[in-house]
Amino acid sequence: MTAPLTLLGIESSCDDTAAAVLRDDGGPQILSSIVSGQTDLHAAFGGVVPEIAARAHAERLDLVVAQALEQAETALDKIDAIAVTAGPGLIGGVLSGVMAAKGLAFALNKPLIGVNHLAGHALTPRLTDALAYPYLMLLVSGGHCQFLRVDGHDAFTRLGGTIDDAPGEAFDKVARILGLPQPGGPAVEAEAARGDPTRFALPRPLLDRPGADLSFSGLKTAVLRSRDAVVAEKSGLTDQDRADLCAGFQAAVRDVLAEKSRRALTGQGDLTGFAVAGGVAANQTLRDALKQVAADAGLPFIAPPMALCTDNAAMIAYAGLEAFRDGHRDGMDLAARPRWPLDRTSPALIGSGKKGAKA
Ligand code: KG4
Ligand code: ZN
């Protein structure tokens, strides 16, 4: 029987300032999870502005930590360890979180654990569903897109990833191209529901190449070209044109994600499940397709609740908990890292998205 533990988690790697209290007493329990989003601050700029994000994190961290403690009905002196996102992400934001966590750890004389943000996402199915290792994880958000084989809290193998945009970025750009509001994902999904996915012949990028790498930049450009062709012909877009373009785009993303998932699952031996996380996993059409892929492979499909699929600090506290139980501790020299690949053996992915490095 392991001793009960209470961890404070802190997350500030992108545009959400978050803190959470996690209790582990025979199983993890989220006592509180506070997320303060910054969408309003960045809305006018069409993307996350790193300087604005860093300042907002620095201003809000104390407050979200206080809220998390209050909601958990606990106090700092009851916290056994502090877990903080130490990368990858926008460096100013990561630094704000790491400095806040160091301050708390030093003042309270409590252990500090630096957590990889992607590990937080990748371990979430263990927090929500107690999923055993090894499993396959697909991270699909506005900043990430990769297949990870997860063998342990510190044992990840990247089986494929995007070579350019993340799918959420593509949804957001397609929304912009078609004059729909941001974030684009929900808007495009709503339009697609009444569209004809077969009207526009859009590409399925990289399906002709072996492996599980993905690409979404060309697909976005194809939507732009199709829109321009319609506009040139009719000097404008009808609601139906817009819906058909959204449906065609979403169907292409679905086909690519499903086929690449099938490939990532192939030859992996005895996996316990196929899990997804990230904002794009909210899309019902994509979710249904991925669920089918899991079923075809005879595996359970795990999609954590949306609040734990998107950025939050409970996942950071949980990843910190596994590392802590394994004896991991960081010192006051813990560094904030803009890039931090989970899989140390695979080459780093090229490019960097609107939400920072893709690791
Ligand atoms: O995980 P997330 O909240 O933030 C990070 O990227 O870290 O993901 C946000 C992304 C946005 O690009 C948004 O457009 C996309 O997830 N998204 C969706 C849907 N809901 C959110 N994409 C497709 N369909 C949706 N229903
Ligand atoms: Zn994230």
In tens, the pLDDT along 45-81 reads: 767 778 777 788 888 899 999 999 999 999 999 999 9
Q: Which ligand has an atom closest to residue 278 CA? A: 1
Please report which helix (H) or strand (E) contains residue 321, including its range: helix 314-325
Mean predicted confidence (pLDDT) in 136-151: 94
CA proximity to 128, closest of 271, 18, 275: 275
Mean predicted confidence (pLDDT) in 274-298: 96
Ligand 2 mean position to 304 CA, how many Å? 14
pLDDT of 17 strictly over 80: yes
pLDDT of 348 strictly over 70: no
pLDDT-derived band at 359, boundaries 50, 70, 90: very low
Per-residue pLDDT reduced to its tens digit, 228-247: 999 999 999 999 999 999 99
Beta carbon of 120 within 6 Å of any ligand 1 atom: no
The ranges of the chain annotated as CATH 3.30.420.40 are 5-129+307-340, 135-299
Q: Residue 295 has which token pair?
A: 């079923």
Q: Selecting from 3.30.428.10, 3.40.190.170, 3.30.70.100, 3.30.420.40, what CATH number does the domain 135-299 have?
A: 3.30.420.40
Per-residue pLDDT reduced to its tens digit, 194-228: 999 999 999 999 999 999 999 999 999 999 999 99
Query: What is each CA distance from 10 to 60, 84, 121, 200, 223, in whole angstroms?
Result: 11, 5, 14, 44, 38
Per-residue pLDDT reduced to its tens digit, 86-126: 999 989 999 999 999 999 999 999 999 999 999 999 999 99
Contact 359, 89 (CB under 8 A): no
pLDDT of 283 strictly over 80: yes
Q: How far apart are CA 219 and CA 306, in angstroms?
A: 26
pLDDT at 13: 92
Q: How far apart are CA 23 and CA 162, in angstroms?
A: 35
Q: Whose CA is nearest to atom 5 of ligand 1?
A: 142
Beta carbon of 38 within 6 Å of any ligand 1 atom: no
Task: Name the CATH superfamily, with its identifier, for domain 5-129+307-340.
Answer: ATPase, nucleotide binding domain (3.30.420.40)
Contact 90, 53 (CB under 8 A): yes
pLDDT of 25 strictly over 70: yes
pLDDT-derived band at 36, boundaries 50, 70, 90: confident
Q: Which ligand has an atom closest to residue 37 CA? A: 1
Residues forming a β-bridge with 216? none
**Ligand 1 mutation pick, 141, 144, 180, 189, max ligand atoms within 8 A of CB:** 141
Ligand 1 mean position to 257 CA, how many Å? 15
Mean predicted confidence (pLDDT) in 297-301: 98
Mean predicted confidence (pLDDT) in 295-324: 96
